[in-house]
Amino acid sequence: MGVSRGGFSSRMGFILAAAGSAVGLGNIWGFPTQTASNGGAAFVLVYLVLAFCLAYPAFMAELLIGRYGQANAVSSMQKMSRTLWQKRFAFIVGFGGIICAALILSFYGIIAGWMMSYAIEPVMRLANMDNAGKWLIEQSLSRNLLFTSLFMLLTIFIIRRGVEQGIEKWSKRLMPMLIGLLILLIIYVFTLEGSREGFKAYLNPDISRVFEPDLLISALGQAFFSLSLGTSVMVIYGSYISKKENLVSLGAQVTLIDVSIAFLAGLLIIPAMYVAQAQGVAIFADDGSLISGPNLVFDVLPTLFNGMGLVGLFVAFGFFVLMSIAALTSSISMLEGPVSFVVERHNVKREKATVLIGCFILLLSAIIILNFELLFGLVISASTVYGQPLIAMLCCVFVGWIWQRSEVLAEIKEGNNEVENSLFWKIWPWYTKFVCPSAIGLVFWHSL
Ligand code: PFF
């Protein structure tokens, strides 16, 4: 690993940073929300299968590209290309992923800003500053601009410090905090009346719904978003892993952590909704489905917290801090994609590149905030519904069809000499070549 471009100092550093990227609002908000609107446990079941059978192989493809190339997404893919058209294709895929990461960050920063303002609101109430508290939880231009900027500043602050001192150090601090907070909140919710019913709704699958096309599409999209695929992020994180590490097991561990935390988040949110119901809050929409989307996190849960009296202020604070931390460990990975590209391809200093790109993305967020109705949903679907699956599919095509099989094997063998005789090597190359691109393509086509 080139000393000048930095890298993760340890195995644990990589696992926590990659899990930090993967675990975010997608797990703690997106997954439970999707579960609530897609038939509860049936969605959980399909999600688990797709995460391991489709997202994990695609995740491995991205990690391998990065570790082989030891560079940003574009340079890594161009290193694998032999002909001019392959190099051009590499540029489109690598750069497409970088754009996708920047677009995701532009809306993610806005939502993360809401999480931060909701975290401060209980503190204001505790200090008897009710008007300030009210401002924090009401939609307004000033609040959105202020908190999105604050969140972006935090992201820039961490990324400016580089891989080891920034990403790795902060992921090691924030990830254990996140897991600890999540477990404490789950335990607390379980002591409340109504949680048992939520627990049942979450864990009893209605098998008849498992093959519904919309459910399958939502579950696959959720799995790809959750593992940060199709954004160049896992390529660049892969490039910071030492050649001594066994990528197959590292990738599996990160997938397992990501899936487990999504599962745990469901264990918090769905029972919390039923607790809210026991306290008189409406948790079903008019059509009989569970409330999901922003209403769930910003209406149902705060109403539940408010009903708990003084303790509720602390629980609300804990919950929204949890959300903000999860968002931060993901946002730093999104900024790292474009920053590493500019630093390595255009010889710009990391500090300067981070501030410039961070401010540019903040400007995009401000444009979205100022044209919220028009742009917010559009940017989300352009980047997550279309961009991510498309780029992830092209990465699989790249590894399966363009990269020479002998070179793929040589790269996987680094740190894992026995891999040639393993089940992974018997299945994965074929899988990445045929199954992943076709399955992702099918879902992509259906979503069009
Ligand atoms: N995986 C993150 C989440 O689940 O919230 C979202 C994400 C992070 C998407 C990084 C894309 C990305 F590049």
CB-ligand 1 contact for 59 (6 Å cutoff): no
What pLDDT is stored for residue 201 in this prediction? 83
When pLDDT is cut at 50, 70 and 90, the band that residue 1 belongs to is very low
pLDDT of res. 344: 95
Range name among 27-31, 332-336, 363-367 with the lowest pLDDT average: 27-31
- Mean per-residue pLDDT, 310-331: 93
> What is the whole-number distance in angstroms between the Cα of residue 22 and the centre of ligand 1?
5
Find the mean pLDDT for residues 340-353.
96
> What is the pLDDT averaged over residues 108-112?
97
| Pocket flag, ligand 1, residue 21 (CB < 6 Å) | yes
> Across residues 66-82, what is the average pLDDT?
96
CA distance 250 to 17: 12
User: What residue ranges define each of the domains in the chain, with the CATH number in brackets?
Assistant: 11-447 (1.10.4160)
Across the chain, mean pLDDT equals 92
φ, ψ at 153 (rounded to 5°)? -65, -40
Distance CA 257, CA 249 (A): 12
pLDDT number for residue 3: 39
Calculate the CA 271 to chain-centre distance. 23
Q: What DSSP character marks residue 414?
A: T
**237 closest CA partner among 340, 347, 352, 357:** 340
Q: Is the CB of 231 under 6 A from ligand 1?
A: yes
Asked if 443 and 220 touch (Cβ cutoff 8 Å), the reply is yes
**Phi/psi-derived region of residue 411, left when phi > 0, alpha when psi is between -120 and 50, beta in every other case:** alpha
Q: What is the pLDDT of residue 216?
A: 86
Q: How far is the CA of 196 from the centre of ligand 1 (A)?
A: 31
Q: How far is CA 193 from CA 184, 196, 214, 278, 320, in A?
A: 17, 8, 33, 7, 22
Pocket mutation for ligand 1, best pick of 104, 155, 158, 228 (most atoms within 8 Å of C-beta) = 228
What CA–CA distance (Å, rounded) separates 74 from 76?
6
The predicted-structure confidence for 264-309, as pLDDT tens digits, reads as follows 999 999 999 899 899 888 888 887 777 877 888 888 889 888 888 8
Place of tokens 């030891």: 70
The answer to pTM > 0.85 is yes
Mean pLDDT, rounded, for 235-263: 95
What is the reported pLDDT for 2? 41
pLDDT for the residue numbered 367 = 98
Q: Which helix (H) or strand (E) holds 67?
A: helix 56-69
**22 CB within 6 A, ligand 1:** yes
pLDDT at position 325 is 93
Backbone angle region of 368, left / alpha / beta, with phi > 0 → left and psi within -120 to 50 → alpha:
alpha
Between the CA of 305 and the centroid of ligand 1 the distance, in Å, is 27
**What's the pLDDT at 94?**
97
Among the residue ranges 14-23, 33-42, 146-155, 425-434, the one predicted with the least confidence is: 33-42
Give CA 41 to chain center in angstroms: 21
The Å distance, Cα 190 to ligand 1 centre, comes to 28
Look at residue 290 and give its three-state secondary structure: strand
Report pLDDT for 4. 61
Q: What is the CA(228)–ligand 1 centre distance, in A?
A: 4
Instruction: Report the pLDDT value the prediction gives residue 350, as an integer from 0 to 100.
Output: 95
194 ligand 1 Cβ < 6 A:
no
pLDDT digits 0-9 by tens, 120-148? 999 999 999 999 999 999 999 999 999 99
The encoded tokens of residue 67 equal 């570790």
